[in-house]
Structure 1
Amino acid sequence: MSGSHQDSTPLSPRWRQAVILVMIFGFSLLIWVTAKTYAGAPPIPARVVDGAGHVLFTGEDIKDGQEVFLKYGLMEHGTLWGHGAYLGPDYTAEYLHRQAEIGRDVLAQARYGKAFRDLDPAQALEVSGLLASQTKQNRYDPGSDTLRFTEAETTAYRTQTAEWKAYFSGDKPAVGLPAKFIQDEGELRNLTAYFAWATWATVAPRPGKDYSYTNNWPYEPLVGNTPTASTYLWSAMSLIALLGGLGLILFIFGKFDYLGWGGEAGWKHAKEGRLHAWTLTPSQKAVGLFFAVVALLFLGQAALGGVLAHYRVEPGGFYGFDLARILPYNLARTWHLQLAIFWIATAWVGGGLFLAPLVGGAEPKGQKAGALLLLGALALVVFGSLFGEFAGINGYLGGLWFWLGHQGSEYLDLGRFWQLLLAVGLIFWLFLMFRALRPAMKGGEQGELPTLFLYAAIAIPLFYVPALFYGPRTNFAVIDNWRFWIIHLWVEGFFELFATVLVAVMFYQLGLVTAKSATRLVYLDAILYLAGGIMGIGHHWYFTGQGTLNMGLAASFSALEVVPLTLLTLDAWDFIRLQDKNCEDCGKPLAARQRWAIKFLIAVGVWNFVGAGVFGFLINLPIVSYFEIGTTLTANHGHAAMFGVFGMLALAVLVFCLRELKGDRAWERVEPAIRFGFWGLNVGLGLMLLLDLFPGGVIQLWDVLSHGYWHARRLDYLMGGAFHTLEWIRIVADTVFLLAGALPIAYATLRLVFSPEPKDAA
């Protein structure tokens, strides 16, 4: 091709070898921790009995209760072991606090014949100590597979059976849910049994240890649940890992100044790439339809975000309308998260299909038909799963709820059938990518870049497979293990790597960087992201059934995740320089057509550092995570990282492809909307963080420290004081984001896609 200047020497094979070694080392540790999760998960006893040996509930009741929890999407309402949604309570923390209150009264009556509140200080101190001593004992007998409850635990279970029944099926609806949401009394009993078991795991010491199955989470001083020594120790050690990693990488970048997008010659010898003289292929023209879908899904997801935010200021009504009857909070949040994954993934799938023929140099026969078939399959998965989640939550699917309805695991809510269909679609997409990239993989001036493009694409369907490794009756500790293999490793690891390859291919095809520089950067990012990111997944597992081995490894490696995110500030500066890069031969700015795609990439660099780096590390320390998990600080990180990084990346790909699909006249008509939308999204997201999510999260964290985790998660706290005021103020940010950001971008996208003016008519 007449593309950019090629480096005279090939890239050292040590880059590829280093990536392979990092992956072998990281996955060896991760598989080891996962195997220990199976071995060390809290046991589900065959029966739970009271002091007299009478059966309170069975292991089958616990598993049935977990199915109720998952079927009705309760993880998208509240949290269990800190994971889930934030409007409802944390079911384990709430159950534990009520167990402590009830237990104090039981012990006070038994010892002094009066309620706890009527005891004098010395008596109250004695009863509190006795309660903590009894609670922090593991009465599970593996020989008989029986768990024995104390009198206090038995009374608490019986009392809370009635309380949780009233919460989910009473005339007064639970926050964000319709009245009488769960009406089957058997399901309600089993659900309470499940909460009782999950709560027992938070306080019962592991055999031979002085901490519980959840490392003493949640914070509940009434029963002696406080941070472990390991939580403090590994928080300090992770800081050492961070400082050491930063020092090492800054030394390396100082010594080898060719690292980065410019490479050794990337800024000096830029020439027009293949893209400037490329004639669009039929499949590339069809890809515009993918981005029309992206625009509609993005707009819907943003609107649902506004609905969710309003539930946190008026949980009983939407400006006077009882929205929970038709769109309860758990369904709205399910759709909000699912649509986010769908529109971002669709943008990247579309970007891959657009760039693959360009890299391969030709259009394979039937590629357009394949792309349209994939789009139809995608539409079936999206709308089929969304309807299935609605039907499953409302009990319309009977025993098929897990397969066609709502699986109940946050982010992996879509039914197993839709998961399998999605996996098949991703494999078909991989086939389309392979047949387009194959001609360029035989070598040539592009070097290893086409092969890396394919390998990064392979990782996406490959690392979605763990979503199929559990069922509705699998131990929740194991479910959450595999769930975060997807959320963290798939989304935050290999999706990010695929996005890096996409950007590298885009810049190379524009002629902005050399193939050697682009390939080196892909390898560098793979090393940096995966070195900390593979085992860093364990910071989600501090308090979900794993022991201190995971805490030590995860705290140290997740600290290293901040290292590449810090370097993204350099990427942002490189992208700024790219905007004005002139062609060596013609003198024209090579990136002039793509200045808005590059601006979105600049935003990615900024938000990656702020959202994933600063806000992510803030909550990754074990001692901070212990108190803040499931608070608004988690949402603060989630919004800044999920949309600020992956969303902005997806929009960068969208803008890049649409700019190349359409002519100048069509683009000029919508460019003001693109500009307006770009600033609206960034300003709106910034206001969400500054006006509500960050300060609200800090206030909520303070309440956890002051009154206990249960208190900061109760509706009484959420609906009062400064925290509630900040939630109201957030309406300004949401309005800016939706009306000045998402709406203009969706308008511009749809107008461009359905504009009759193609690129060659410019």
Structure 2
Amino acid sequence: MTNASLADPVEELSPWWGRAVAVTFALGFAVLILLTVKAYQYAPPIPDRTVDTSGNVIFTGDDVRAGQEVFLKYGLMNNGSIWGHGGYLGPDFSAAVLHNWALDLAERRAQERFSKGYEALSPEDRAAVDGEVGALLKVNRYDPETATLTMLPAGVETFAKEIEHWKTYFEKPELNGGLTANLITDPKELHDLTAFFTWAAWGSVAERPGVKHSYTNNFPYDSLAGNHPTGAAVLWSAISFIFLLGGTAIVLLAFGKFDYLGWHGAAAPVEKWVLSDAQKATLKYMAVASVLFLGQTFFGAGVAHYRADPGSFYGIDLADYFPSNLLRTWHLQSAIFWIATSYVAGALFVAELLGRASPPRQKLGIHLLFGAVAIVIVGSMLGEWAGILQWLPRSWFWFGNQGWEFLELGRFWQILLAIGLLFWFFLVWRAVEPALRDPQRKGFAKFFLIAAFAIPLFYLPALFFGSQTNYTVVDAWRFWIIHLWVEGFFEFFVTVVVAVIFYQMGLVRRITALRTIYLDAILYFGGGLIGTGHHWYWTGQTEVNMAFSATFSALEVVPLTLITLDAWDFVRTTRGSDSMVVRHRWTFYFLMAVGFWNFVGAGVFGFLINTPIISYYEVGTILTPNHGHAAMMGVFGMLGAGLMVFVLREIVADDIWPRIEKLVRVAFWGLNIGLAMMVLFSLFPGGVLQVLDVTENGYWHARSLAYTGTPTARFLEWMRMPGDLVFMFAGALPLALALVWGYFARWRATGDAR
């Protein structure tokens, strides 16, 4: 394999680029680690005993932790949520218990003061009672010396009633968003689960010692319970705009002064590369990824149907064997798996383009890794099925459904995945290592290896907590994976891969590609590392986290805004009559789609929900999956599809490609149009109306059937169907057909499809 401009002198970048990246990482991780440590220090305490005013034990700390395990074992985080994080098919359990607690206290106070029911009070008397209810619930009756929490009589009554309430909730799928009928009937499990929900409700309303707001910064919004947004939420939202405008101005100034930033630079000559057997072996990864992608769309359509009609699936009792929490688990996990599989294969393919040599037995290593990937995918998804259906009563955490959203796969499968990623890095290192000895390619090789090693390294936080770890601590580490791993290091790795592809194709000069990598590292991690904390506003962290996270999260929008500046340069770089450009035009189209959805999904929709004051009312509403679909599929999914098409085009014979290309063309437009229809017809308007309901009636109401069961909400859920059908049958299906056709075409042509 040969490449561009071997005779060119080695032009070096200023050392200040590397220093700037080092400072960005050092400062970012210092603050992020500080915020994570504070999660341990300031997490809402779990009382050893919760007692009534006479000292009788209502529930214990062990009950709360056991209740959290019940919550996880039954996959309830993919049904409802705690403190806004989880599924959207059911209620926010903490908000529901808090509101019922406030109602019971209001009823008791109304009877004591006015000898009549709360609903019968005049507006003036009700306002007086409301004020008393909020004041009483805000009092923190936890004694840290004895680790004892004392509950008023109304709270004791609420706890007893809530056990029956949740028993009824789990009886019928139409009441709970499509769970298996009679999901939880064991009295001990119902008691412990209610203890966990009650602890979460207490943490969301009782004032944190030393301040005038709750452990969750007064989330969720519930005026009867006395929960209103804090002044800090308003202040840091306003200041975040200053950071956004200031950061944008600085970068615009830099782009104006240094006109070489971005994809500028004359193209270098390129020679056609010759593919190795090891590179050709990556095609099966892409074929499997495309089939997984198709499966993910069906799981997602099933989840959407449960939201629109939770009682039945066109007359079929689907909930007995494929309940909604299982389909949502599979929808999330298959998305992670197919995107990661396409990246793993793309990296192995591009690594040899950079190293220009195929290491001995590299093909064997790729086969072994494929087997390991298949075992983890199939084993973990079957385990999740068995776990959620309670076929693994003792080993659910290790081999079944671990229960944490996005990290549902059992701990055993997580360990295998981490080992597989390390083996993948070993294969990448073997392929890239020759480039370390070439001054022209040394910079790319270093970035490639650093970015690749970061992926297994920063998956390790998934192993830092267990089923009974304090929820606040778990959420801190969980978003080290969800945000930092996926939105940080995967995004950086993608930048490196794309830069290497452009350089290898001769579309940009070496110095241009390296400069782009450095710039993206500074911009993405400058806001992205500390910005991880915008997920922690309401999960038991302090206002220190809110201050850092709100301001630096705003900076995450800056590089996405710059995509609009860089768009024309990108188009100019990737157009023309050059044979490589024409050959890979659909890869470039997918990369252009990545830029568009990065700006819209991650930039516009992401910033919309990340300011504290908006997040306070919005988190856990449909505006969250609106951002998630546009950003996850629009950015990482489109890039995964682009890598599939890139590898497919290189491996498939030229005489077969014109027929396969027709499927690729349909897939490109089907995926983009279908995703746009989902967002415009359903997710965005549905999210806006749900947030409006939060502001008018309280968070508990907008997350309950009182809102989600209304004709308007159900209609907007049904409006997902047109976009879903286009996305599935004009997007994912033709892409899968193209990849599978290409794989078997090579098999027929060579007798070796491996």
Aligned mates of 1:175, 1:539 — CA distance in 2: 28
Query: Match of 2:530?
Result: 535
Query: Match of 1:93?
Result: 95
Query: Match of 2:582?
Result: 592
Task: List aligned pairs for 1:182-201, cutoff 5 A.
Answer: 182-201=184-203
CA offsets 1:136-195 (integer angstroms, 9 cap, x no match): 110000001100001121111111111112212469763211211112111111000000
Structure 1, 718-727 or 655-664: larger mean CA deviation: 718-727
Alpha-carbon distance, 1:300 to partner: 0.2
RMSD: 1.6
Aligned mates of 1:109, 1:466 — CA distance in 2: 51
SS at match of 2:308: coil
SS at match of 1:524: helix
Kept in 2, the 8 Å contact 1:215–1:547? The answer is yes
SS at match of 2:4: coil
Query: Match of 1:446?
Result: 441
CA offsets 1:532-573 (integer angstroms, 9 cap, x no match): 000000100000000100000000000000000111223433
Candidates 226, 249, 255, aligned match of 1:253 = 255
Query: Match of 1:501?
Result: 496
Query: Match of 1:156?
Result: 158
Aligned mates of 1:119, 1:306 — CA distance in 2: 46
Letter in 2 for 1:40: Y
Letter in 2 for 1:560: L
* 2:476 maps to 1:469: no
Letter in 2 for 1:69: F
Aligned mates of 1:523, 1:642 — CA distance in 2: 23
Aligned mates of 2:367, 2:312 — CA distance in 1: 42
Letter in 2 for 1:57: F
Aligned mates of 1:167, 1:661 — CA distance in 2: 54
Aligned mates of 1:393, 1:661 — CA distance in 2: 41
SS at match of 1:696: helix
Candidates 267, 270, 273, aligned match of 1:272 = 270
SS at match of 1:283: helix
Candidates 267, 278, 284, aligned match of 2:279 = 284
Aligned mates of 2:405, 2:173 — CA distance in 1: 28
Candidates 375, 397, 403, aligned match of 1:402 = 397
* 2:638 maps to 1:675: no
Query: Match of 1:15?
Result: 17
Are residues 423 and 181 of structure 1, via their aligned partners in 2, closer, same or farther at CA, if it must alter by over 3 Å? Answer: same
Candidates 308, 325, 328, aligned match of 1:330 = 325
Kept in 1, the 8 Å contact 2:89–2:176? The answer is no
Kept in 1, the 8 Å contact 2:177–2:307? The answer is no
Aligned mates of 2:354, 2:174 — CA distance in 1: 60
Query: Match of 2:474?
Result: 479
Letter in 1 for 2:516: L
Letter in 2 for 1:681: L
Kept in 1, the 8 Å contact 2:82–2:93? The answer is yes
Aligned mates of 2:424, 2:268 — CA distance in 1: 32
Query: Match of 2:111?
Result: 109
Candidates 618, 621, 641, aligned match of 2:611 = 621
Are residues 2 and 612 of structure 1, via their aligned partners in 2, closer, same or farther at CA, if it must alter by over 3 Å? Answer: closer
Aligned mates of 2:613, 2:690 — CA distance in 1: 16
Task: List aligned pairs for 1:209-358, cutoff 5 A.
Answer: 209-262=211-264, 266=265, 268-273=266-271, 276=272, 278-358=273-353
Candidates 622, 627, 647, aligned match of 1:637 = 627
Structure 1, 629-638 or 108-117: larger mean CA deviation: 108-117
Kept in 1, the 8 Å contact 2:173–2:319? The answer is no
Letter in 2 for 1:94: A
Q: How many residue pairs are counted as aligned between the two chains?
A: 749
Q: TM-score, normalised by structure 2?
A: 0.97
Alpha-carbon distance, 1:724 to partner: 1.9
Aligned mates of 1:349, 1:512 — CA distance in 2: 24
Alpha-carbon distance, 1:269 to partner: 3.9
SS at match of 1:664: coil
CA offsets 1:399-445 (integer angstroms, 9 cap, x no match): 21111111111100001110000000000000001111111112332
Aligned mates of 1:58, 1:283 — CA distance in 2: 58
Aligned mates of 2:627, 2:128 — CA distance in 1: 42
Query: Match of 1:688?
Result: 678
Aligned mates of 2:459, 2:277 — CA distance in 1: 30
Alpha-carbon distance, 1:123 to partner: 3.1
Aligned mates of 1:197, 1:226 — CA distance in 2: 19
Alpha-carbon distance, 1:389 to partner: 0.7
Letter in 2 for 1:65: G
Query: Match of 2:82?
Result: 80
Kept in 2, the 8 Å contact 1:578–1:591? The answer is no
* 2:694 maps to 1:704: yes
SS at match of 2:44: coil
Kept in 2, the 8 Å contact 1:572–1:601? The answer is no
Structure 1, 124-133 or 519-528: larger mean CA deviation: 124-133
Query: Match of 2:33?
Result: 31
Aligned mates of 2:184, 2:174 — CA distance in 1: 13
Task: List aligned pairs for 1:347-426, cutoff 5 A.
Answer: 347-426=342-421
Aligned mates of 2:171, 2:724 — CA distance in 1: 33
CA offsets 1:357-410 (integer angstroms, 9 cap, x no match): 221111111100100100000000001000111111121112211111111111
Kept in 2, the 8 Å contact 1:4–1:508? The answer is no
Letter in 2 for 1:430: F
Aligned mates of 1:439, 1:88 — CA distance in 2: 54
Kept in 2, the 8 Å contact 1:132–1:223? The answer is yes
Q: Structure 1: state its 5+ residue gaps.
A: 583-587
CA offsets 1:468-521 (integer angstroms, 9 cap, x no match): 110101000000000000000000000000011110111111111122211111
SS at match of 2:229: coil
CA offsets 1:642-672 (integer angstroms, 9 cap, x no match): 0000000111111111111122112111101
Aligned mates of 2:60, 2:389 — CA distance in 1: 27
Aligned mates of 1:347, 1:422 — CA distance in 2: 15
Aligned mates of 2:684, 2:150 — CA distance in 1: 43
Query: Match of 1:608?
Result: 598
Letter in 2 for 1:328: P
Alpha-carbon distance, 1:578 to partner: 2.6
Kept in 2, the 8 Å contact 1:7–1:514? The answer is no
Aligned mates of 1:570, 1:303 — CA distance in 2: 37
Are residues 434 and 236 of structure 1, via their aligned partners in 2, closer, same or farther at CA, if it must alter by over 3 Å? Answer: same
Alpha-carbon distance, 1:106 to partner: 1.7
Aligned mates of 1:171, 1:338 — CA distance in 2: 23
* 2:559 maps to 1:564: yes
Aligned mates of 2:369, 2:328 — CA distance in 1: 27
Aligned mates of 1:695, 1:682 — CA distance in 2: 19
Are residues 363 and 170 of structure 1, via their aligned partners in 2, closer, same or farther at CA, if it must alter by over 3 Å? Answer: closer
Kept in 1, the 8 Å contact 2:267–2:506? The answer is no
CA offsets 1:189-234 (integer angstroms, 9 cap, x no match): 1000000000000001110100100000000000210000000000
Kept in 1, the 8 Å contact 2:174–2:310? The answer is no
Aligned mates of 1:457, 1:364 — CA distance in 2: 18
Are residues 60 and 164 of structure 1, via their aligned partners in 2, closer, same or farther at CA, if it must alter by over 3 Å? Answer: same
Q: Percent identity?
A: 54
Aligned mates of 2:90, 2:5 — CA distance in 1: 56
Are residues 203 and 7 of structure 1, via their aligned partners in 2, closer, same or farther at CA, if it must alter by over 3 Å? Answer: farther
CA offsets 1:245-268 (integer angstroms, 9 cap, x no match): 000000001100111122xxx2x2
Aligned mates of 1:106, 1:95 — CA distance in 2: 17
Kept in 2, the 8 Å contact 1:662–1:758? The answer is no
Letter in 2 for 1:386: M
